[in-house]
């Protein structure tokens, strides 16, 4: 699987800003996440367990925000 990421530096743009855009683009595509995931083998059962835990954390956070919003 090949991924070709490219960011063109705009005229009068700071190179640091272009690097920021590149990093943001990589994160959006999930490129870095995939590289990190492929470093070590994770058993399918552990993947499912971690996915369930993350889903529960997101739900709890959203529920807490909803409770805070509707407290009045």
Cα 65 to chain center, whole Å?
A: 21
d(CA 72, CA 67): 9
Q: For 23-69, what is each residue's pLDDT tens digit?
A: 898 888 888 888 888 899 999 999 999 999 999 999 999 999 999 98
3-state secondary structure of 50: helix
Number of H helices and E strands in the chain, helices first, is: 3, 0
Predicted TM-score (pTM) of this structure: 0.49
């Amino acid at each position: 699987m090949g991924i070709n990421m490219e960011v063109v530096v705009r005229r009068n743009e700071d190179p640091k800003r272009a690097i920021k855009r590149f990093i943001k683009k990589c994160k959006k595509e999930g490129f870095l996440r995939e590289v990190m995931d492929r470093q070590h083998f994770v058993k399918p059962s552990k993947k499912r367990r971690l996915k369930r835990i993350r889903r529960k954390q997101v739900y709890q956070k959203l529920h807490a925000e909803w409770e805070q919003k509707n407290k009045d």
